[in-house]
Structure 1
């Protein structure tokens, strides 16, 4: 327990120093004209938060324009909508430069920019929303996303119908899109359809085209903490971290002394909360709830509470995880999966490593064997109905000689003088009960007479 508590304390202690240096300081240059922000890889909630900080950093250097260098195959629709809102509300004009791909959610981000430029060989479009398993989203989601794409295009003076064609496979656009296809435009098509302003080979060419000086451009540098946060807040990474973290701590608790599972589990949980705090989804209350739940679960193993502490602990851990994730429902689902994995790990630990388990402190499982140096209690059942004589007065305890051996014996409550014949009438462990022989014979005679009378 002490070891697990140290791991939990370490988890709470090392997060603040990691979080403090998260701000990515903008390179302050005099007369900055263009602030360049990369929009790369999968669009997810971590990227949305990172871009928000990037826009704040841009405002600090007062550029004339923000250039989003886009190369993405899409991602989370909700995150894309947050980024689109950020672009529309920006007081600084935004230029979108599609370096390679602006697919799906990436197309939406590009359409929200006031200016849109394409690189040779780049593409934009194919924005049909899909579920996590790759299936087309439900009609309601498709309709909402279609209207969002159209609105983004209209707000920047572009064709809303082309934007809708990027989402709706059933929409037909003569000369450009047949029914049953998704619209994806090449750089040349995007310029011809007035979606893009032009085709430019380099970022410097784009900056020059819009009237700025490339040498006065500053690129936003994402901090290591932000890069890490983008990874650990990815929907596919969240359940993995929770499974590794909770399973690691459970195994460390049940099989103390191994250390490695506890270290791995603690590291996974540190990454989980660190990433979500950096991304802006989680506050310290989520971490405190998680730690409180973990402590309650540990106490439950040592202080019986009829399950009250255990249930409260699981609830606190679940709520802590739920409020840390961008989507509480997804967070709870991931936690339940991790809980199931922890239950399997606990069963394996009990099944194959039970001898080292923490329950050995709670349940006596030691065996007193000859090999361990213990002498088993000798059985005296063979003395039953044997005859002997009282060696000392039995009042009622004393010593008797039976079959030539001395034994400590007791009577049934009466007194027997030394030298009187006795008979063993009961043996219980090491307790030998005797009766005066004459009384034994008299009892036997009464039994015989009783049987005889009953027969007659």
Structure 2
């Protein structure tokens, strides 16, 4: 026994070191930034030789293309991936259901749900054949995921075709998820010792008392994630158009142009990551043109009404979902607020400013023309007049003018006013 004791101590270091778990949190729509974040998290877990990657998920859905990238990264991951729908009240809607099913271990917290989360669409219905193709493609995609992870294939397809959504208890009963965990530590204790199948091997999870290392988005990723929100992209685009337009109206103002170009470039980034309907974009630009014409042309409100209708329709049509499963839309509150604000701004504020520019000049030589003065003596034709508290030499252009009569200034030459008789 004494001879075996040194060998026991030799093997102890293999067991003693605590395992590492890389933890990610996704709270919002699925977009290209989130796809890169998860892919980087998998790479981080591989470099740290972590026992697994833990993804806290709470999402209403998102872009189907980004979901495909995430699922592909998870299926090919060299480290086990655990998806935990949490905290209580969270849900894995639409794209979130794909991601949860693709995990090596799928878990949910009490009070959560999973399933389709179709957004209400205010756009005209898409072509039925194209919509059916998209739905069939998504159904095949989720069936393949469920078969790969030995999960409920029938429910997975119903989640796509029939928009079914279930609670965490129903998900566990139907074989959609592997377990229910009250919190992160409870989850890691439950999966300890569980074997998961990777691409080329099978590994055993050692997660009991594991060290959890949070992995957050970088500052740039957080900014890009915010910009990928359709409502933010919409706001940045309008601010960009307004800024550039104001700079063209007032060359040299500089600030509106700088803000406008920056906003427009940022909106281009957002549109690059979103399914933009260019007909909607054209309607928004056309609305801005109509607002400008309404200010310059007397149309009795026709151009203004057309601009409001164009802006509203263009805003509703701006985001075109590639599939009915995608949760991508601009907030209706944002659309209505910007439509009303833009209408009031152009029709009142800018309109008043331009009308002020066209108002009669009241200073300088131009301000004298049409002004009223009073004859201090008889103008026949020359004499003097009182104008704005000052005595001026004056010449009558309309014959004799009696003392005290009211006259109107026609022009001024060589500090002499040329006036005409007006009504008393």
Q: Normalising to structure 1: TM-score of the pair?
A: 0.53
Q: CA deviation at 1:158?
A: 0.7
Corresponding residue number in structure 2 for 1:198: 179
Corresponding residue number in structure 1 for 2:149: 156
Are 2:160 and 1:167 equivalent residues in the alignment?
yes
Are 2:32 and 1:49 equivalent residues in the alignment?
no
Corresponding residue number in structure 1 for 2:273: 326
| Runs of 4+, deviation exceeding 4 Å | 127-137, 257-260, 331-335, 348-357
Corresponding residue number in structure 2 for 1:103: 93
Q: CA deviation at 1:151?
A: 1.3
Which one of the candidate residues 62, 68, 88 is aligned to 1:75? 62
Structure 1, gaps ≥5 residues long: 1-29, 170-181, 277-323, 358-365, 375-456
Corresponding residue number in structure 2 for 1:336: 282
Are 2:244 and 1:249 equivalent residues in the alignment?
yes
Structure 2, gaps ≥5 residues long: 1-16, 193-206, 298-350, 370-424
Q: CA deviation at 1:249?
A: 0.8
Q: CA deviation at 1:113?
A: 0.7
Question: Aligned partners of 2:45 and 2:267: how far apart in 1?
Answer: 28
Q: Normalising to structure 2: TM-score of the pair?
A: 0.57
Corresponding residue number in structure 2 for 1:64: 51
CA displacement 1:128-184 (0-9 Å, x = unmatched): 687575979822222221221211111100111111121223xxxxxxxxxxxx422
Question: Aligned partners of 2:175 and 2:113: how far apart in 1?
Answer: 14
Corresponding residue number in structure 2 for 1:146: 139
Helix, strand or coil at the partner of 2:72: helix
Question: Aligned partners of 1:258 and 1:158: how far apart in 2?
Answer: 62
Aligned ranges 1:38-437 → 2 under 5 Å: 38-99=25-86, 100-126=90-116, 133=123, 138-169=131-162, 182-211=163-192, 212-256=207-251, 258-259=253-254, 261-272=256-267, 325-326=272-273, 330=276, 332-333=278-279, 335-344=281-290, 346-347=292-293, 352=351, 371=366
Determine if contact 2:107/2:180 at 8 Å carries over to the other structure. yes
Question: Aligned partners of 1:214 and 1:344: how far apart in 2?
Answer: 65
CA displacement 1:81-129 (0-9 Å, x = unmatched): 2211121121111111111211211111100111111111211113568
Question: Aligned partners of 1:31 and 1:331: how far apart in 2?
Answer: 51
Question: Aligned partners of 2:189 and 2:123: how far apart in 1?
Answer: 43
Determine if contact 1:242/1:334 at 8 Å carries over to the other structure. no
Corresponding residue number in structure 1 for 2:327: none
Indicate how the Cα distance of structure 1 residues 239 and 128 shifts in structure 2: closer, same or farther if over 3 A, else same: closer
Helix, strand or coil at the partner of 1:124: strand
Corresponding pairs, count: 279
Q: CA deviation at 1:42?
A: 1.6
